[in-house]
Amino acid sequence: MNGMTPRFLDRKTPPHLATLILISGVSALSMNVFLPSLPNMSEYFNADYRVMQLSVSVYLGFSALLQILIGPLSDRFGRRNILLGSLAIFVIASIGTLVAPNATTFLIFRMLQASVATGMALSRAIVRDMVDEERAASMIAYVTLGMSIVPMIGPVIGGALDEVFGWKASFALLTILGIAVLWLVYTDLGETMERKPTSFRAQIADYPELLTSPRFWGYVLSTAFASGVFFAYLGGAPFVGTVLYGLEPSELGLFFSAAGLGYGLGNYLSGRFSMRAGVNRMIIYGNVMMGFGMVLQILAVATGIGGAVGFFSPFLVIGIGNGLILPNSNAGMLSVRPALAGTAAGLGGAFMIGGGALLSALAGAWLTEETGAWPLIAIMTASTLGSFLSILLVIRRAKQLGL
pLDDT of the residue at 286: 96
Q: Which of these ranges, 127-131, 147-151, 233-237, has the smallest mean pLDDT? A: 147-151
Using CA of residue 367, residue 372, residue 378, residue 380, what is the dihedral sign?
positive
Position 200 pLDDT exceeds 70: no
pLDDT of the residue at 374: 94
**Which residue blocks in 3-132 are alpha helix, DSSP H?**
17-32, 38-45, 49-77, 79-99, 103-112, 118-130
Position 2 pLDDT exceeds 70: no
The residue with greater pLDDT, 165 or 136, is 165
- Nearest alpha carbon to residue 218 among 307, 333, 118: 333
pLDDT of the residue at 399: 84
Answering whether pTM is above 0.95, one says: no
CA distance 398 to 281: 13
Q: What angle do CA 171, 259, 37 make, to 5 degrees?
A: 30
**pLDDT for 267-300, tens place per residue?**
889 888 888 888 899 999 999 999 999 999 999 9
Position 108 pLDDT exceeds 90: yes
- Residue range 79-105: mean pLDDT, rounded: 93
**pLDDT for 341-361, tens place per residue?**
777 877 787 787 777 777 877
CA distance 94 to 177: 10
Cβ-contact 122, 83 below 8 angstroms: yes
Position 198 pLDDT exceeds 90: no
**Which residue blocks in 304-370 are alpha helix, DSSP H?**
308-312, 315-335, 341-366
Q: How far apart, in Å, are the Cα atoms of 16 and each of 77, 167, 271?
A: 21, 33, 17
Q: How far apart, in Å, are the Cα atoms of 91 and each of 110, 117, 167, 176, 261?
A: 11, 13, 18, 8, 28
- Mean of per-residue pLDDT scores for the chain: 84
For 244, the enclosing helix (H) or strand (E) is: none
Cβ-contact 373, 301 below 8 angstroms: yes
Domain 17-193+206-401 fold is Growth Hormone; Chain: A; (1.20.1250)
pLDDT of the residue at 203: 60
Locate the domains of the chain by residue range.
17-193+206-401
pLDDT of the residue at 28: 82
Residue 198: strand, helix, or coil: coil
For 314, the enclosing helix (H) or strand (E) is: none
Percent above pLDDT 90 for the chain: 32
pLDDT of the residue at 195: 61
**pLDDT for 35-58, tens place per residue?**
888 889 998 998 888 788 788 778
pLDDT of the residue at 130: 78
